[in-house]
Chain A
Amino acid sequence: MSSPLTRENVAKVAVLARLNLTEAEVDRYTEQLAAVLGHAEDLASLDLDDIEPTAHPLPLVNVLRDDVVTPGADRDEVLSQAPSVEDRRFRVPAILGEEP
Chain B
Amino acid sequence: MSVPSTAIEIAAAVRSGELSAVEVLEVHLARIDEREEEINAFNLVLADKARSTAKAIDARVAAGEDPGVLAGVPLALKDNLCTHGIPTTCSSRILEGWRPPYDATVVQRVAVAGAVSIGKTNLDEFAMGSSTENSAFGPTRNPRDPERVPGGSSGGSAAAVAAGFAPLSLGSDTGGSIRQPAALCGVVGVKPTYGMVSRYGLIAFASSLDQIGPFSTTVADSALLLEAIAGHDARDSTSIDQPAPSLLESLGEGVSGLRIGLVTELMGEGIAPDVAARVRQAAAALEAAGATITEVSVPAASYGLSAYYLIAPAEASSNLARYDGVRYGMRVDAPTTAEMNAATRTAGFGDEVKRRIMLGTYALSAGYYDAYYGKALKVRTLIMRDFETAYTNVDLLLAPTSPTTAFKFGDKTADPLSMYLNDICTIPSNLAGHPAMSLPFGGGADGMPIGVQLLAPALAEATMFRAAAVLEAAAPALDEVWS
Query: Do A and B truly interact?
Result: yes
**Contacting residues, chain A, for B338 (C-beta < 8 A):** 18, 95-97
Contact of A58 with B by CB under 8 A: yes
Q: Please state if A58 and B194 are interface contacts (CB–CB under 8 Å).
A: yes
In the complex, chain A residues whose CB is within 8 Å of the CB of B240: 58, 60
Q: Is B244 an interface residue (CB 8 A)?
A: no
By a CB distance below 8 angstroms, the chain B residues around A78 are 101, 327
Q: Contact: B306 with A29, CB < 8 Å?
A: no
What is the interface of chain B mostly: helix, strand, loop, or mixed? helix
Q: Which B residues lie at the A interface, using CB under 8 A?
A: 98-99, 101-102, 194-195, 208, 234, 237-238, 240-241, 302-303, 305-307, 309-310, 317, 321, 324-331, 333-343, 345-346, 349, 354-355, 357-359, 361-362, 365, 368, 371-372, 374-382, 384, 415-417, 420, 431-434, 458
Given contacts A18-B324, A20-B346, contact A93 B336 (CB under 8 A): yes
Contact between B417 and A36 (Cβ–Cβ < 8 Å)?
yes
Candidates A40, A60, A84, A95; contact of B309 at CB < 8 Å: A40
Contact A53 B345 (CB under 8 A): no
Distance to closest chain B CB from A41 (angstroms) = 8
**Which chain A residue shows the least CB distance to B415?**
A35
Contacts of B432 in A (CB 8 A): 57
- Bound-state CA distance A88–B329 (Å) is 18
Q: Say yes or no: A20 contacts B342, CB within 8 Å.
A: yes
In the complex, what distance in Å separates the CA atom of A16 from the CA atom of B338? 11
A83 part of interface (Cβ distance < 8 Å) = yes
Complex Cα–Cα for A96 and B343 (A): 16
Across chains A and B, which 7 residue pairs bring their CB atoms closest together, nearest first?
A57-B433, A53-B377, A83-B331, A2-B371, A40-B306, A51-B378, A48-B378
Inter-subunit contact B194/A81 (CB<8 Å): no
Q: Is the CB of B337 within 8 A of A82?
A: no
Do the beta carbons of A54 and B306 come within 8 Å of each other? no
The CA-CA distance from A10 to B355 in the complex, in Å, is 10
Contacts A39-B306, A81-B101, A93-B337; is A53 near B374 (CB within 8 Å)? Answer: yes
Question: In the complex, given contacts A17-B358, A17-B361, what are 10 additional A-B residue pairs having Cβ atoms less than 8 angstroms apart?
Answer: A13-B358, A16-B361, A18-B345, A21-B346, A35-B415, A40-B376, A57-B194, A81-B98, A94-B336, A95-B337
Contact call B324/A83, Cβ cutoff below 8 A? no
* Nearest CB of chain B from residue A68's CB, rounded to whole Å: 12
Contact with B along A75-100 (1 / 0, CB 8 A): 00110011110000010111111000
Measured in the bound complex, the distance between the Cα atoms of B303 and A57 in whole Å is 17
A14 in contact with B358 (CB, 8 Å): yes
Contacts of B326 in A (CB 8 A): 82-83, 90, 92
Chain A residues with CB under 8 Å of B339's CB are 93
| Interface pair A81/B328, CB less than 8 Å apart | yes
Contact assessment for A51 and B381 in the assembled complex, using a CB-CB cutoff below 8 Å: yes
